[in-house]
Structure 1
Amino acid sequence: MSLDQQVPVAPRDPAGDRVDAFYGRLFGWPVKWRGVHPFLALENGICAVTLPKLSAGPVLSRLVATGCQGPAMHLPTQQGPRVALLAETDGLIPPRDALPRNVEVLAWGTLLPLPVGPRRVDVATEWLSAPDPRQRWLPSLSAVLAGIPDRF
C-alpha cells in the first residue's frame, strides 16, 4: 500500500494534538500518523539529507559556522544510526552517484519518525538540533550539501 492510499489515523491522546499543533500548524510540516506515532512526510518542498551519525559532528559544526543550520535528528536505520538534516528542496535533487558515498537525500513522501516528548523505547528518534519556532525556515538542500566534504 502506498503512502497516498493510507489514511492517517487520528491521535488517541492529548500529546497528539500538541504534536499536530507544533509541527503541523506552527512549522507547516505535513504530519502523518501511523497508529499513535507521528511522522514527518517529506513532501511539499521538504527533504532530508542523511549521513552516518559518527561522521555528522563536523558537518553540523560547518553548517552552524555558515549560518545554514537547521533541524537535525538522530535516526535509527537498517544501515545503523544516521543523522537526518532537514532541508528545503531548491531545485533538482542530485542523483545518488553525484553524492558522497555515505550521503543520501530522502524526499517524495518518505516518512521520518518525529521525536515527541521523553525518549520512548519503541521510537529511538531524537532531535540533535530541534526546530526553532523563531526560525521556521529550513536551509536549502544546496547549502546543506555544500556543508558535506566531497571525500566524506
Structure 2
Amino acid sequence: MTLDQQLRSGRDTGPEPAAAYYGGLFGWTIRRQETRLFLALEGGLCAVTLPKLTASPALAHLSSLGSRGPALILPTPHGPRLAILADTDGQLLLRGTLPEDVDVLDCGALLPLPSGVHTPGAGPEWLTPPDPRHRWLPSLSAVLAGVRRRP
C-alpha cells in the first residue's frame, strides 16, 4: 500500500504513516508542523527548486542520464515551482553560479510534502514520486548540469 493509500484509508497503520514510509523506506527525516508534513533536508539530502515552466530541459537531462529522481510541484504566489530532490555529493556552491530563478535548499530547510487529501494546485504534489525500488537520488552536480542547460 502506498503512503497516499494509507493516509486516505484512515486506518491506524502503527507509527505515523509518513514517517514510517519516508523514514523506513528512504531514510528521510519527516517533521510535522500542526497538520502539515515536511521533509527535513539533512544528511546529504537537498533540493533544487526552479520554475516548473522552465524545468523540462533539466528533467530531460536527468532522464538521459538515467538518474531522474523524486520531484515535487510546489505552488507559490509566483506560480508553481519544481523541487528536484538530490544528493549533495559534497558540492560547494559559490554565490552567483546559479541562474537567478534557481535555488538550492539544503541543511536545515523544510520541504512541504503532499498530504493524503489531494486537490491539484492547492498544495504540494509529486511530479515524480519516490520509488522504493530506486531509493538513490541524482547527484546535485547532475541536477545543476541540467538546470544550466535551460535556455
- The TM-score with structure 1 as length reference comes to 0.82
For residue 138 of structure 1, give the secondary structure of its aligned residue in structure 2.
Answer: coil
Does residue 1:65 correspond to 2:48, yes or no? no
AA aligned opposite 2:63? V
- Hey, what's the Cα distance between the residues in 2 that align with 1:101 and 1:122? 24
Figure out how many residues of one structure are paired with residues of the other and give that number: 141
Which residue identity does 1:81 align to in structure 2? P
Alignment gaps of 5+ in structure 2: 1-10
Distance 1:96 1:123, change over 3 A: farther
- Corresponding residue SS for 1:80: coil
**Cα distance, 1:107 vs. partner?**
0.7
40-49 vs 114-123, which moves further: 114-123
Distance 2:43 2:78 in 1: 27
| Unmatched segments (≥5 aa) in structure 1 | 1-12
Q: Which residue of 2 aligns with 1:39?
A: 38
Report which structure shows greater RCO (CA 8 Å, sep ≥6): 2
Aligned Cα root-mean-square deviation (Å): 2.4
- Tell me how far apart the structure 1 counterparts of residues 108 and 122 of structure 2 sit (CA, whole Å): 20
Contact 1:20 1:31 survives alignment (8 Å): yes
C-alpha contact 2:45 2:106 (8 A) present in aligned 1: yes
TM-score by length of 2: 0.83
Q: Are the counterparts in 1 of residues 49 and 103 from structure 2 also a CA contact under 8 Å?
A: yes
